[in-house]
Amino acid sequence: MEFSRVAAVAADTSDPKAGLRAVASLRVLADAWELRQVEAALRSGMTWQEIADALGVTRQAAHKKHAKRVDPTILNPRRTT
C-alpha cells in the first residue's frame, strides 16, 4: 500500500482495526526514516545535542534510541576531554 493511502486509512476512524494497523505501519516507516536522517546528520558532522534538538528530545534520549542502530562505518569521535 502506498504511503498516502496508508496515511488516509490511519486518519479514517470508520474502521478502527484497519486504522490501527495503518498507524503501526506508519510508525515503523517513520522510525526507519528517522534513523536514516540521524545517520545523515552524523555524517554531516552534527552532534547528538543538535540531533536531539531537531527531534525535540533530550540528547540522552536521541543517543539511547539510535546510537546502537546507526551504521557503524559513520565516524563518531568520542569526547576525549
| Global confidence as pTM | 0.82
Structure confidence by residue, pLDDT tens digits, 37-80: 999 999 999 999 999 999 999 999 999 999 999 999 986 555 43
CA distance 28 to 18: 16
CA distance 44 to 40: 6
| Helices 59-66 + 48-55 axis angle, to 10 | 100
Structure confidence by residue, pLDDT tens digits, 5-26: 999 999 999 999 999 999 999 9
**Hey, which bits of the chain come out as E strands?**
none
